[in-house]
Amino acid sequence: MLKKFKKMSKGKKAGTIIFIVIILALLTYVLYNNFKPKPLDAYNVTEIYKGDIQTTYETTGTVMSNGSVNYTAANGVKVESVNVSVGDRVKAGDRLADFDVSTLNSTLSDYRKAYNKALAAYNQASSSIGKAQGNISSANSQIAALDREIAALEKEIATAESNPPQIKVDPSAQYTPEQIAEMAQKLQNGGLTQEEIAAITASLQSQTGSVSTEDIEKAITNSVAAKRIQLAQKQSQRQLLETQKTLYNAQTDDTALSIYKQVLEQKKADYDNYQTLYNQLKDGWVASSDGIITEVNIIPGQVFTPQSKNSTTTDISSILSYVSGNADMTNVLSDIIGSVSGSNSGSAVGLVLENSDEFIAEFSVGKYDLLSIKVGQKVTVSSLDSEYEGEVIYVSATATESNSFDINSLASTFSGGSGSSANGALVRIKILNPDEKVIIGFDVDIKIDTEKIEDVLVMPIDAVVTEDGINYVYSVDDENIVSKHEVEVGAYSEDDYELVSGLSAGDRVVDNPKTTITQGEKISVKEK
């Protein structure tokens, strides 16, 4: 063979050598691939450190306006100009529309008449009660005086009948002044009038002998009879006053007055409200704040006649049923009610301005997160790749039905909490300085900074894996050998967990470990 190889030409020798080299190279490649060491899995690792956790709550909310302004137009007003359309953004002070209110003058006059009639009816009822109360006071005074007179008459009659005076007159006797005075007192006790007593004593003093004992007894009897007649008259007068008092008391019943007062208050409110509406239309509509026009129902050059309108007068017709038995009141109230024509009155929304300074977003929060959300907390709102500052302005104290789900529902499962409850409490946030990218009715992303926990062990959220409800992390030693550890986590932020137990500061944990990672495995650590 060697002799044959020596006899080969130089060309053939070179080819053979190349062939042998190639064979050896292929053999070496195959052997290397079959027996070379397996490359290590490469991971990022993070060192556990002492730091702060800023907890956040993230969800989505629906944008709405917290400050809608409805511009109301009266039925029958003529629209002179409309300067905006639906979707226009306006600034506070921008002129929105102008009107000719001359077509409303007659209706405004009707409202004024209705109020004046109600005022007159109330004043008359109030005056009648005042007069009746004065008559009652006068009747009480007269009754008190009669009671005193009746008591005196009854006493005089009783005295005369129970102990009549015994007076004997001697026509031939001469009476001293003292005797005459004593007789006068007895006569007075006997019920005689002063005129009768004066006539008898005058006869005795003149000693004419014209007065006898029989005359005195007859005078006493006649005096008692006269007092009885007088007593009956006084009693009759008293009864008449009591009857009059009953009528006066009926006139002081304030039921009618309270009805008239209610009608007066309602008609004054109707008149004032329509006067305010009239003045607003007369002055023209001006934007009260920055905002967006979301509804326009008026047309320039046309009289405003809404298909559906709200009443601008209070319906008091039901009151008539309570006074159906009083014809006078029924007529008065019917006249007041008929003062304003229903076809001419009424109003409706002519334009709606959503206040862009008062845009809010609403969402529901579960019971496990509710306690961490408080009024005044700062909020970051995201919409169409733009961010806005916000503030929590309302947290409901009661729960409503909700099917919300957010990132915190998922994150809370790692810390031993639960997902969103079927019930949620309503939360509202105010969006500060919104622009055209914040649209009513659309969703925005919301992030609320809730609680800041200071000086705790911190590790990344993506280092934690959960198996059968238990949280684990994989640490590496100085030789990059993997160890599996059960850990307890607490609060969390967007990226980090609070490490409660399981490892210490300075330990290194594997970020995003693969499902194939195992205890005791050696890994390659990526350079950060």
What DSSP element (H or E) covers 19?
helix 10-35
Q: How far is CA 405 from CA 280, 366, 372, in A?
A: 47, 9, 17
Q: Which one has a higher pLDDT value, 143 or 407? A: 143
The token duo for 102 is 């001359």
User: From the CB of residue 378, how many other CB atoms can be counted at a distance below 10 Å?
Assistant: 13
Nearest 5°: phi and psi at 350? -100, -25
* pLDDT for residue 238 is more than 80: yes
> Mean pLDDT for the chain?
81
Query: Do the beta carbons of residue 498 and residue 489 sit within 8 Å?
Result: yes
Give the closest residue to 99 by CA, choosing from 238, 275, 300: 300
The token duo for 199 is 């006539």
Q: How far is CA 323 from CA 249, 255, 329, 330, in A?
A: 19, 10, 7, 6
* pLDDT for residue 60 is more than 50: yes
Distance, in Å, from the CA atom of 320 to the CA atom of 336, rounded to the nearest integer, reads 11
pLDDT computed for residue 474 by the predictor: 96
- 3 state SS of 411: helix
* pLDDT for residue 411 is more than 60: no
Query: Do the beta carbons of residue 293 and residue 88 sit within 8 Å?
Result: yes
| 133-166 tens-digit pLDDT | 788 888 898 889 989 988 888 887 777 666 665 5
Output the 3-class SS for 115-160. Answer: HHHHHHHHHHHHHHHHHHHHHHHHHHHHHHHHHHHHHHHHHHHHHH
Q: Which residues contact 117 (CB under 8 A, 6 or more apart)?
A: 267, 332, 335, 336, 339
What is the arithmetic mean of pLDDT over 200-216? 59
Say what percent of the chain tops pLDDT 90.
Answer: 35
Q: Which range has highest mean pLDDT (27-41, 147-161, 289-303)?
A: 289-303
pLDDT computed for residue 413 by the predictor: 42
What is the arithmetic mean of pLDDT over 187-200? 66
pLDDT computed for residue 404 by the predictor: 43
